[in-house]
Structure 1
Amino acid sequence: MVNAVVITRSQSICSFLYANGNQCQVARVDNTSYCADPGPQNLPGFEGRSVFLAQLPAILDTLCLIEHAELARPGNHAKPLTIDAATLPGGMWNVHVPIEFSDGVKWIARIRRKTVRAWPALVERHFMQGEIDLLRWIAETGAAPAPKVMSSIFTHGAADFYFMELIPGSSCADPIWKGVPREQTSRTLLDYAKINIERSKHPLRLTGALHRDKDSGTYTVGPLYTRDITNISPPQFPGPWKTVALKYKWQFDYLLDTIRAGQLYSRQRKKAFLVHRWMKDAVMAYPPYNVEDEDTFPLNNDSNGGHIMVDARGGITGLIDWEGASVGPKCEAFAIPQAFEERLFFDGSNELSWAELELADAYKSLGRPDLAECITLGKPYQWISILIYGGSWHQYKWVKALGVSVGYEMEDNEKDFLSRQRKTYKAEFRALKKMWAEEEAVKAQTEQGVTEGTGAKADVSDIGDSRCEGGMAV
């Protein structure tokens, strides 16, 4: 058995990754691992949300939430937990258990739940600590209304957790204007403009993620919290970078490496290579992404309405769910969330929606036309966020929209677009096709030899064709 550090993408966690710590169960001689992709139901130890919630009472017994809440708030008593696990708020990564003290103060325990996409505990704790660091920075600077952190991370029980302030209100819908009166949405937009104006008064430097030194309490922009882990040495995370263009160079280089290795989009690797190779050049050439020594700002990477809490009148009570937040340039930090306009997902349009126009007017009326400009300059960020991961790059209308947003003249159809990219990257593409053909020939010979030999499958053939489209070991 070969021990290897396994690197995968968040969309494709391999089943062998956690079976024995960070040692993969199967690996080829060239240290390229392939995942058998048995499906979420067969992943040992990583439960779906419903299964996790069913086990939550037993998990809570190991966490001692009440005892730790009272220790974190000396002299105050917390009421006994009375919860219905099925109705607890939470998303893909966390579950929130309400804590109420006898004096009426309310917290939540933000509990990391096990999922089929979870990572080793050390990596997950970096993500959780990153959120805590950012929330503490927000509280100290007053940059935005956000929950205050009430404890450090507890790691003693069946799940990691920490306490935070409960933000009143309810989450916005997707899109934010769905099912609510126009005047309520207008109030949300105006509050959002005011919050962003305050955020703009607290600039940072570099692109990456915010880190807090536990000894000095000082904050710096350091490596990016990402589940695309390519560094063997702790903390594994890449960055920081002088420009966001360099961050995207790293991301696209990583994706292209996995495509070349046959670990990602293996069934459409020719198209995948051409599209991602073009996206890399198009994004890196965008002038606003190449400004060095510029102000940068924290940005919440959730583009849905769920991170915006509002009251019954549409006033924003807080911005939540900062896990995995990054620090980026002004044009991205103040780009409008996709939840403000869902049409772009369907039409591939760069036209501004009524909500975007109203937000721009709010910025101008408040004396910040520069932030209004970010709504247009931030359009590429909207497209990149849905194209760079997952399968959205298959939709040419979105690839075309990205190109238009960065100033490119785009072909009307995908066929002509791919034809042009084959010419643009002719030498690279030819070398890749030759390499892939040689690999297929070796694979075919190996499989034929196994079949004609003992009849028993070796480890490599036993684990399939990398159906999870991830799992590169180094």
Structure 2
Amino acid sequence: MPFYKCDATHCREPSVRGEGVCFLCNSHYCAAHMKSGVHTCTKLAEEEYAVASARASENEINALLSEIRVDVLRARAMSLRNGISCDIPPLDYNPATALMGGMNYHFPITFQDGVTWLCRIRRHNASSPPMELRDRILLSEAATLRFLANTRIPVPKVYDFAISSPNNPVGVGYILMEKLDGKPLPPWSTIDVDRRKHVLAQFVEVFAELEKHPLPAIGSLRHPEDQSIGPLTIEQFADADEDGHAKSLGPFSTATEYRYETVRRQMELVSRGEVHHTNAVDSYLVHRYLLECVPWFARQEEGSGSAYYLKHMDDKGDHILVDDDFNITGIVDWEWAQTAPKSEAFAAPMFLLDVGSYYDGKNELSEGEELFASMLEGKGHRELAQFVRRGRVEHRWASCLGGDAGFSDSLRAMFSGLRGSLRRDRDWDGWRKRSLKKYANDKGLKLLTMKHTII
């Protein structure tokens, strides 16, 4: 079942995830209605749209902040610090000063003795998953931070948490956490060589520390108070059951099961029109190919046993906090973290990739990846260095499976790169022609071909 159905009158088709969401009118639309006359927001001129978008964001945040019972939150914070008084600033939306990302809003809680905490709350708009999944994401992030607190990886301490519930007197789900010093790492291309080396020398220790803490299954940490492995929290692999309750894949006891099931879930979403609606047939073919690649990955992972490792799933660089001397002060934003096979967990972080080259389908390692691998080797971590050097196939797999597959140009480049990383030909047109013939009797492909021929 889809998260949301189309809001067009009398339409019960699934809404398209991402593109089918409109923040302006807080609505969801299927592929047929998202750009039709039914959805009037698409008719706005560029300047009008920008104004309406800013207004919608302000309304969303103000509505969220109005749900917070500030006095209750203040009292809770004080009780956790043995009565030390604290101050919470007026909660009104100011885009110039708001500590806000795409998924979360933050505000400080400052104690009389100078200690500052952050209150992290989930944003709620048309693109948000159902409340049940949002709560799972919050609990998993708090669990991950508490797990990492027992390692040498610098993460904010979690002091308190609560999900959205009638039993939550604060009014909204939240995490109260330590406010770390530092600012997000600047774009890698803007950093000079000496500072790059300094950052990577510290990141070597992060990889080495994560390797010391294997976990027994693939999934996301479930809850701060038991820290067992539960289902994946990333929305890409979540769905709804017949009663509308959010359901997620996992946990998985083997990497093979994990790869098979995540590909199959994406094929379901493609078939239903929830993702990749502009190139559904091509995307479906690519995912059929991914299924065939699973045994290859299984052979590469032989001998790894049943140990899996925590991975930050949004490692574009701004999750790393640094001071003015580029000392790492913290690694934050662990909300979709999961355990993964060793080859995936220790592939190079995305901030080291040469983005232009990568999206052109090229597989050569960037200078940053080469440097990082060399530094791992220099510290005696030869296996981790090999995972970095061989990590392009993991990057390509994730991109073909994920959002990059939603656009024809990106799909072809990512798939070409995947084929290249597997030492196979990159001829898209020839491969597509052969695959249409090869999978001609596939029920899902037949339905998609018929549907998109009619459209």
> TM-score, normalised to structure 2's length?
0.81
Contact persistence 1:143–1:202 (CA under 8 A): no
Superposition deviation, residue 361 in structure 1: 1.5
Distance across 1 between alignment mates of 2:21 and 2:269: 21
Native 8 Å contact 1:243 1:290 kept in 2? no
Counterpart for residue 366 of structure 2 = 353
The one-letter code matched in structure 2 to 1:229 is A
Q: Which deviates the most, 394-403 or 124-133? A: 394-403
Partner of 1:409: 424
CA apart distance, 1:327: 0.5
Structure 2 CA distance for partners of 1:440 and 1:53, relative to 1, 3 Å? closer
In structure 2, stretches of 5+ residues that fail to align are: 29-52
Secondary structure at the counterpart of residue 158 of structure 2 = coil
Partners of 1:56 and 1:85 within 8 A in 2? no
Aligned to 2:399: 386
Please list, as runs of the form range in 1=range in 2, the aligned pairs for 1:58-457 lying within 5 A after superposition.
58-60=66-68, 64-81=72-89, 85-86=94-95, 87-139=97-149, 141-153=150-162, 155=164, 156-157=169-170, 159-174=172-187, 177-212=188-223, 214=225, 217=226, 219-227=227-235, 228-230=237-239, 232=241, 236-286=247-297, 287-289=299-301, 293-341=305-353, 342-392=355-405, 394=408, 395=410, 396-405=412-421, 407-411=422-426, 413-428=427-442, 431-432=443-444, 434-435=446-447
Per the alignment, do residues 44 and 74 of structure 1 end up closer, same or farther by CA in structure 2, a change over 3 Å counting? farther
Change (3 A) 1:112 1:243: same
Closer, same or farther in 2 for the Cα pair 1:146/1:330, shift >3 Å? same
SS at match of 2:160: coil
Q: Is the 8 A contact 1:223 1:239 kept in 2?
A: yes
Alpha-carbon displacement from aligned partner over 1:27-66 (angstroms, at most 9, x marks no partner): 76xxx64679573311169995443345565345557432
Give the gaps of 5 or more residues in structure 1: 1-5, 17-23, 445-464, 466-474
Work out whether residues 229 and 238 of structure 1, in 8 Å CA contact, stay in contact via their aligned partners in 2.
yes
- Cα separation, partners in 2 of 1:438 and 1:168, compared to 1, 3 Å: closer
What's the offset of the Cα at 1:255? 1.9
Q: Deviations over 1:144-192 (max 9, x none)?
A: 1111101021644553212001111011133xx2333221121110100
Q: State which structure, 1 or 2, has the greater radius of gyration over its C-alpha atoms.
A: 1
Please state how far the C-alpha of 1:262 moved relative to its aligned partner: 4.4
Opposite residue 208 of structure 2, the aligned amino acid is I
Q: How many pairs were matched up?
A: 414
What's the % identity of the aligned pairs? 22
* CA displacement at 1:264 relative to structure 2: 3.9
Which fold has the larger relative contact order, with Cα–Cα distance below 8 Å and residues 6 or more apart in sequence? 1
Shift of 1:435: 4.0
Closer/same/farther in 2, CA of residues 322 and 284 from structure 1, 3 Å limit: farther
Q: Tell me which amino acid in the other structure corresponds to 1:421.
A: S
Aligned-pair distance for 1:114?
A: 1.2
Report SS of the residue matched to 1:196: helix
Deviates more, 1:298-307 or 1:63-72: 63-72
Change (3 A) 1:433 1:135: closer
